[in-house]
Structures are given as C-alpha cells and as structure tokens.
Amino acid sequence: MTTPTKADRQTLKLGEALVEIGVSRAAFYRMRARGQAPRHLKLPNGQIRIRRADLDAWFDSCEVQEAC
C-alpha cells in the first residue's frame, strides 16, 4: 500500500474551488443537488472541502469529444 502524498491530500475550500470552476455558490449547490458537482467532503462543522484530485477528475470528466 502506498502512502498518499501531500498533493493527494490537498483540499480546497469551497470558495477557492468555485473560483476555479467559475460558478457561483448557488450554482454549485444546484449542481450538487443534481449530482453534477465534483466529489466533496462535508466537515463536522458543515464546511465543504474539495480534494484537488477530485476537482481535477471532475474537470477531466467534463471534457467533450467534438465530431469532425
């Protein structure tokens, strides 16, 4: 078993992730309700964190192949 690296454990606050995604907080919560938001963690204090790896994977899943 490999030990997770620091980059694997890096998390972003919701506001930081929203800046990268380019959506408002309300839009994120609508995406979340529809199951379209990136995987995220909900901390015991109610705050949301998104792992860097999960955000990158979500961006990759949004890629569209254009027909030529």
DSSP string covering 14-55: HHHHHHHHT--HHHHHHHHHHT-SPP-EE-TTS-EEEEHHHH
Q: Which helix (H) or strand (E) holds 11?
A: strand 11-13
**Amino acid identity for residue 6 in this structure:** K
pLDDT score recorded for residue 5: 62
pLDDT at residue 1 tops 70: no
Return the sign of the alpha-carbon dihedral for residues 24, 11, 58, 34.
negative
DSSP code for 6: H
DSSP code for 2: P
Which pLDDT band, with edges at 50, 70 and 90, does 34 fall under? Answer: very high
pLDDT at residue 11 tops 60: yes
pTM of the model: 0.76
